[in-house]
Amino acid sequence: MLEPLLGSTNCERVLIFLAAREEGYLREISDFFETSPAPILKQLEKLENGGVLFSRLVGRTRIYGFNPRYPFLKELKSLLDKALTFYPEDIRARLLESRRRPRRKGKPL
Amino acid sequence: MKALSEMSVGEVAAYVAEHLRQSSINVVLTGGSCVSIYTDNRYLSYDLDFIEEGRSTRKKIAACLREIGFQERDRYFTHTDTRFFVEFPSGPLAIGDEPVGNIAQLEFATGSLRLLSATDCVKDRLANYYHWKDRQCLDQAIMVATDAEVDMEEVERWSSHEGMAEEFKRIKELFNRAA
């Protein structure tokens, strides 16, 4: 959808994923789109080097999110939010449905 | 000219910027090293963050810096004679979602240096405080506002534009107390 603008399907995947979920890590994004991690990592690194994303380590996992200091963040998010509404319902629903609230350790369900 | 090993942060930055300018690469110094310059090293940063104003290639910049002994290592350029290292964060030159308006210029024995104005330097530090909760950057902003001439009304306007009017009200007292 945004691939002609962004020049890469995986770049679109990364941005759309983060637009929907605010944060994400490499394996989570590549698993979601059922693709190998290497091209996703390349895009994450490119976007981080360009100041669009930031990353931080949580344990041994590198979490990515939008850099709040990126000057075009508001406009980029508007574009991605609009693109998200054009995604197939099932993908959009899966992207937007994600448990982020805490879950106590050892719960059976 | 002084040996590189004896140069201050401003002198090294001006030396690098001047050399780049001779190859038509125009840069503006941003980040923590501007704090060092405005506070006369009360806060010392070894990281010289330059934003390039044109669209020079990394290759051209690397070749130019090699001429004065800076070697590229990952995303940084280091030199054996100085602890200061050079980085080129991705542009544009902006603070929050606003482009930087007035760029300051300081003269050193090693050349001219274009850098964030003291007011923009305070805004740049506060952006880190507002968005990353980096308390050290708030302290740096206060140091710059104490040591240099800063337009606090402009800082207040910009803070509101960033959606941080309430937070600015809270920290304004810290600026007043330090003044």
Phi and psi of B148, rounded to 5°?
-125, 170
Quick one: pLDDT at residue B97?
Answer: 86
The listed range with the strongest mean pLDDT (B72-76, B113-117, B130-134) is: B113-117
Q: How far apart are CA B21 and CA B61, in angstroms?
A: 11
- Using one digit for the tens of pLDDT, what is the confidence trace for B17-67? 999 999 999 999 999 999 999 999 999 999 999 999 988 888 999 999 999
**The two structure tokens encoding residue A36:** 């190998």
Q: What is the ipTM of this complex?
A: 0.72
**Type of residue found at B54:** G
| Strand pairing class (B76-79; B82-87) | antiparallel
Q: Looking at the complex, does the CB of residue B161 fall below 8 Å from at least one CB of chain A? A: no
Residues of B in contact with A69 (CB under 8 A): 96, 127-128, 131
Largest CA distance in chain B: 49
Q: How far is CA B63 from CA A101, B23, B29, B84, B85, in A?
A: 50, 10, 20, 18, 16
Which of A50, A51, A71 minimises the CB distance to B97?
Answer: A71
**CATH annotation of B4-116:** 3.30.460.40
Please give the helix or strand (H or E) that residue B73 lies within, else none.
strand B71-73
**The two structure tokens encoding residue A99:** 């448990």
Residues of A in contact with B97 (CB under 8 A): 71-74
Q: What is the pLDDT along chain A (109 residues), one digit of tens a residue?
A: 898 999 999 999 999 999 999 999 999 999 999 999 999 999 999 999 999 999 999 999 999 999 999 999 999 999 999 999 999 888 888 988 875 666 677 766 5
Quick one: pLDDT at residue B54?
Answer: 83
Q: How far apart are CA B10 and CA B106, in angstroms?
A: 9
Residue B73 burial (C-beta neighbours within 10 Å; 0-12, 13-18, 19+): exposed
Does the structure show a pLDDT above 70 at B135? yes
Map out the domains of chain A with their CATH numbers.
Answer: 3-94 (1.10.10.10)
